[in-house]
Structure 1
Amino acid sequence: MKILVIGGTGLIGSQLVELLEQKGHEAIAAAPNTGVDTITGEGLAHAMAGAQVVIDASNSPSFEERAAMEFFQTAGGNITAAEIEAGVGHHVALSVVGTERLQDSGYFRAKLAQEDQIRRSPIPYTLIHATQFFEFLRGIAASATEGDTVRLPDALFQPMAARDVAAAVADAALAAPANGTIEVAGPEAFRMDAIVARVLEHDEDPRHIVFDPDALYFGVSLDDGALMPGPDARLGATSFDWWIANVPPPAKK
């Protein structure tokens, strides 16, 4: 089966391509650096020709509302039009657990608009709502840094390894369209300030964590339910302890 992976050279997309190829499928990585641009439409129709499934693992390069909204709406419109032309039978999109509860953020308003656009499309679909990736914990620290201090809330969440996200998306792509949402999450729940502190300690990062009940998560005030999955979420197998001991941090620039 031919499967087009939009965002196929990114963190999740590259692992998806590898997983799908291991399962015997023709997985095509679609990204600007492979000649496919979902904003301009360049190369999209050619890459999608003959594809039975399209996976959208791409993300807006900006968290600013106007830029994110423009990205998701423009790319989404171009993808849907190309899918209709190519006769694609299943659209799979990666999104975030709690998107509908995080609407104080312009970025998450844009994500919800993306999801609504997918639901309105005539293409059968599956939405994957994933919790935050372990690989994103350093980004959470960066977003909350003031000097040598990282101010974070102690909100409960259930992050997961990127490889488990990729596995869940691959499984969904090879199954029948759910025409609904599947939640995936890590095997353990953590307090945000505590787990980010463990990452910084592991990295021998001199910044220190300060618990601040008023600290915002990308502009959103969190309670213990905002980022948590529901009781039927599918849980990844990779523990945080294994991940921190075995997955090297990104190379410093």
Structure 2
Amino acid sequence: MNVAVIGGTGLIGSRVVANLNAAGHQAVPHSLSTGVDVVTGRGVEAAVAGADVVVNLTNSPTFDAASLGFFRTSMRNLLTASERAGAGHFVILSIVGADRVPGLDYYRAKVLQEDILKAGPVPYSIVRATQFMEFMDAILAMTTEGDTVRLPRTPIQPIAAADVSRIVAEVAAGRPLNGTLDIAGPDVYPLDELGRLTLAARGDRRSVVTDDTAGMFAAVHGDAIIAPDGARIAPTRYPDRLS
């Protein structure tokens, strides 16, 4: 099976390519660094030519309102080219609970991406993942002031990038779901507790202060981004990854 992985050189994309090739498929990574620009359309038709499956793992360069334009334009370009190329399956990676957090522009943009795919001309699969374990450092950095990190008690169910990549590759190699698969890590933590656990494991002297108004996750209410019933639970636990 020939698979074009758009955004195939990033954290998830590079591993999806490796997993697909290890399984005997022919997966080719495409990104800005290989001459493919999903916004202008440059190189898109060449990238998906001959592909049985197109996996779109590109991401907006910003997390503000401009992300809506990015996903609108990139999906239009990719779906048009994929239909012309005769691709029979289009896969995207989205976020568990994105439709339940309307206060975040980026989450609204991911919902827009899903809606465009559902209404598009190519059979599809949507994989919705919870927050990546690998993003914890960035979350800590965003709310650090001196030696203090301010984090809300938002429930988080972190999943390892390796598990996400493996499942995305499996979905890409299978029949189109024409629906959504939710995936998550095995454990739920309040975000402030997750921050303390991370800092302690690394010997980081910063302290975490619970602040339910701090950072982007303050816009998340209740269990909005926790895996719903029926989600596929990945095996990697956060403490195991830290160790």
Give the TM bin, normalised by the shorter chain.
over 0.9
1:108-187 to structure 2, matched below 5 A, reads 108-187=107-186
Counterpart of 2:15?
15
Divergent runs of 4+, >3 A: none
Alpha-carbon distance between aligned partners in 2 of 1:125 and 1:111, rounded to the nearest angstrom:
15
Q: Aligned AA for 1:226?
A: A
Is 2:243 the counterpart of 1:205? no
Deviations 1:46-88 (A, max 9, x none): 11111000111111110111x2111111111100110111011
* RMSD after superposition: 1.3
1:20-169 to structure 2, matched below 5 A, reads 20-65=20-65, 67-169=66-168
Equivalent residue of 2:15, what SS? helix
- Cα shift at 1:205: 2.5
| Kept in 2: contact 1:215–1:221 (CA 8 A) | no
- Cα shift at 1:195: 1.2
Normalising by the residue count of structure 2, what TM-score does the alignment of the two structures yield?
A: 0.96
Q: Aligned AA for 1:122?
A: P
Alpha-carbon distance between aligned partners in 1 of 2:91 and 2:154, rounded to the nearest angstrom:
29
Counterpart of 2:3?
3
- Cα shift at 1:154: 1.4
Alpha-carbon distance between aligned partners in 2 of 1:150 and 1:221, rounded to the nearest angstrom:
18
Normalising by the residue count of structure 1, what TM-score does the alignment of the two structures yield?
A: 0.92
**5+ residue gaps in structure 2?**
none
- Cα shift at 1:240: 1.2
Equivalent residue of 1:11, what SS? coil
Deviations 1:151-202 (A, max 9, x none): 1111222111000000110111111111111000001111111112221222
Give % identity: 43
Range with bigger deviation, 150-159 or 49-58: 150-159
- Cα shift at 1:106: 1.1
